[in-house]
Amino acid sequence: MLSGEQPHPPRGGRRASARTVLEQVHLAGPLSRAELTRLTGLNRSTVKGIVDELGAEGLVMEGAAEPRKTPGRPSRVVRVCSERLAVLAVEIAVDFVAVATVGLGGTVHRQARVSRSREHLDVESTRSAVRELAASVIDARVPIMGAGVAVVGIVRRGDGVVRLAPNLGWRDVELASLTRGTLAALGVDCPVWVGNEADFGALAEHRRGAARAHANMVYLSGEVGIGGGLIVDGQPLVGAAGYGGEIGHIPVNPDGRTCGCGGQGCWETEAGKAALLRHAGQPAEDPHGDAVERVMAAAAAGDEAATAAVDAVGAWLGIGLAGLVNILNPELIVLGGMYGRTLPAMRQPIRERMTRHTIGPTAEGTAIVAASLGLDAPLLGAAEFALEPVLDGARPVPLVDA
Ligand SMILES: [Zn+2]
């Protein structure tokens, strides 16, 4: 799993070399053959041969680069043909369902999103929303190579079963096979992978966003719950069955409230959206989706309750992050979802707690930044996951006339 900056040394074999080249242009964008040679560590003739092969398959093309500022002939560059094929990315959140078709290079072809109310979170309503949205984005001329589904739940990686999604009210939902059925009804026969929304968000930020080139990072996404994705030594940390990274349920306050998971004083009960609204004296319901903005605006204007809410949630965030920093010693903490917007106001209480609760040197080198892909991170991460087989050599099946 490359970050784009530090390529793995090429593994043996032509297929592995082809992956290395395709992955470079997929993640880094247009590159000259000379740059590809340097970045991949392959020799020039191998790079030329692979670029020619990938070109013949319609996956990359060579052409003139954008004009350079330095004098001299602009070198030709290799770039992906993003329209050659696509994957379908699906995000199932509490407040919305979103679908996109995404090509090589992370190019979003088409995207559709529908908001929904809390009465329509059941599996059947979700399926019909996915079916409608998918039908609106799928282009029959572009082969769909796979589908990645990001869901706010705990997912068994092996078979794509959502074991538990407390905020959706789901338990043991066979989401991968249900989605395969939904797509088959639309005439699309492809593999489907299901993962946790924050794990996919972390993958996207790691490959294309704020955490590019960082091998050790913590991604935290705050909304109704707290989702987390961890990248350790360049690899996602998912645990034995895929349930790892449920950092929203780290117990931080033994005297805290009961959590949706059944536990008590979980991190998300102290630092999630509900906690921010509660401390600010606001109702928990957020029908217009602007409750967080209103609290932040009130805090900026000097409102006492709002300021106290920002400080309290920032402090709990810092306490939880201190624990993670002590364990993982990440270079970077990427805050997504609601936290991307609240970070400027919460940075100070977060830092104070991190300094107080980390062991000396561990927090010194840890930067805290806002996510750069915004709300699209889980969709883009799901697409990255579904594109993996293409990087590894999977190609569209040629259409055969019956
Ligand atoms: Zn919990």
Domain harbouring 140, CATH code? 3.30.420.40
175 CA → ligand 1 middle, Å: 23
The three-state secondary structure class of 362 is: helix
How much distance in Å is there from the Cα of 168 to the middle of ligand 1? 14
Q: What's the distance, CA 12 to chain centroid?
A: 30
Say which CATH number the domain at 44 has. Answer: 1.10.10
Work out whether the CA dihedral 364, 365, 370, 374 comes out positive or negative: negative
Give the pLDDT confidence score for residue 364 in this predicted structure: 77
Distance 5 CA to ligand 1 centre (A): 37
What pLDDT, on the 0 to 100 scale, is given for residue 5? 34
Q: Which two tokens stand for residue 3?
A: 């970050």
pLDDT tens-digit readout, 117-136: 888 899 999 999 999 999 99
d(CA 133, ligand 1 centre) in Å? 32
Same-domain status, 184 and 222: no
Q: Is 76 contained in some domain?
A: no
- Is there a single domain that holds both residue 299 and residue 313? yes
How many angstroms is it from 378 CA to the middle of ligand 1?
A: 21
Beta-sheet strand order (sheet of 31-32) = 31-32, 76-80, 60-64
Helix, strand and coil percent figures for the chain, each rounded to 5: 45, 20, 35
* pLDDT score, position 399: 54
Kindly give the distance from the C-alpha atom of residue 256 to the centroid of ligand 1, in angstroms, as a whole number.
11
Is 402 contained in some domain?
no
Q: How far is the CA of 313 from the centre of ligand 1 (A)?
A: 16
- CA nearest neighbour of 63 among 25, 32, 29: 32
Pairing mode, strands 96-102 and 161-165: unpaired
Residue among 152, 103, 149, 188 nearest 382 (CA): 149
Could you tell me which of 93, 94, 202, 101 has the C-alpha nearest to residue 146? 101
Span from the CA of 204 to the centroid of ligand 1 (angstroms): 25
What is the 171 CA–ligand 1 centroid distance (Å)?
A: 15
105 alpha carbon – ligand 1 mean position (Å): 37
Q: Model confidence over 179-197: pLDDT tens digits?
A: 999 999 999 999 999 999 9
Q: Are residues 383 and 364 in the same domain?
A: no
Is residue 132, in this structure, part of any structural domain at all? yes
Report the C-alpha gap between 371 and 212 in whole angstroms: 11
Does residue 211 contact residue 205 with C-beta atoms inside 8 Å?
Answer: yes
CB 178 within 8 A of CB 123: yes
Last residue of a domain, one of 34, 68, 102: 68
Q: Please indicate, yes or no, if residue 329 is contained in any of the structural domains.
A: yes
Domain boundary among 68, 100, 116: 68
Q: How far is the CA of 170 from the centre of ligand 1 (A)?
A: 15
Regions of the chain where pLDDT drops below 50: 1-10, 401-402
Domain co-membership, 382 together with 362: no
Determine, yes or no, domain membership for 401. Answer: no
- In angstroms, the CA 34 to CA 49 distance is 13
Which H/E stretch holds residue 134? helix 123-137
227 plus 192 within the same structural domain? no
Query: Which residue from 337, 333, 338, 339 is spatially nearest to 375, judged by alpha carbons?
Result: 337
Q: Which residues, other chains included, contact 365 with Cβ-Cβ below 8 Å and sequence gap of 6+?
A: 329, 331
Token pair of 356, please?
A: 């107080």
Those residues with Cβ within 8 angstroms of residue 213's Cβ, 6 or more apart along the chain or in another chain: 3, 4, 5, 6
Residue 138 lies in a domain: yes
Quote the ligand 1 centre to 227 CA distance (angstroms). 11
Same-domain check for residues 232 and 363: yes
pLDDT at residue 12 in the model: 62
Same domain, 248 and 318: yes
The whole-angstrom separation of Cα 291 and Cα 280 is 10
Q: How far is the CA of 148 from the centre of ligand 1 (A)?
A: 26
Number of domains comprising the chain: 3
DSSP code for 138: -
CA of 226 to the centre of ligand 1 (A): 9
CA of 325 to the centre of ligand 1 (A): 20
Task: Examine the domain organization and report whether 92 and 52 are in the same domain.
Answer: no
Q: Does residue 204 lie in a domain region?
A: no
String of b and e for 336-357 (b: at least 16 CB within 10 Å)? bbbbbbbbebbeebbbebbeeb
Centroid of ligand 1 to alpha carbon of 166 (angstroms): 9
Residue 74 maps to a domain: no
Distance 344 CA to ligand 1 centre (A): 26
Same domain membership, residue 224 and residue 339: yes
Please state, in angstroms and rounded to a whole number, the distance separating the CA atoms of residues 104 and 86. Answer: 7
173 and 220 share one domain: no
pTM: 0.87
Could you tell me the distance, in angstroms and rounded to a whole number, from the CA of residue 380 to the centre of ligand 1?
A: 27
**124 and 191: one domain?**
yes
Ligand 1: distance of its center to the CA of 73 in Å? 60
Other beta carbons within 10 Å of 36: 23
Residue 28 domain boundaries:
6-68
**Residue type for position 63:** G
Q: 269 alpha carbon to ligand 1 midpoint, in Å?
A: 7
Taking the centre of ligand 1 as the mean of its atom positions, its distance from the CA of residue 265, in whole angstroms, is 7
**233 and 164 share a domain?**
no
Would you state the pLDDT for residue 376?
87
Distance between CA atoms of residues 172 and 178, nearest Å: 12
Q: How far away, in angstroms, is 298 Cα from ligand 1 center?
A: 29
Centre of ligand 1 from the C-alpha of residue 207, in Å: 29
Instruction: Identify the helix (H) or strand (E) that includes residue 285.
Output: none
Residue type, 269: T
User: Cα separation of 313 and 246, whole Å?
Assistant: 19
225: CA distance to ligand 1 center in Å?
9
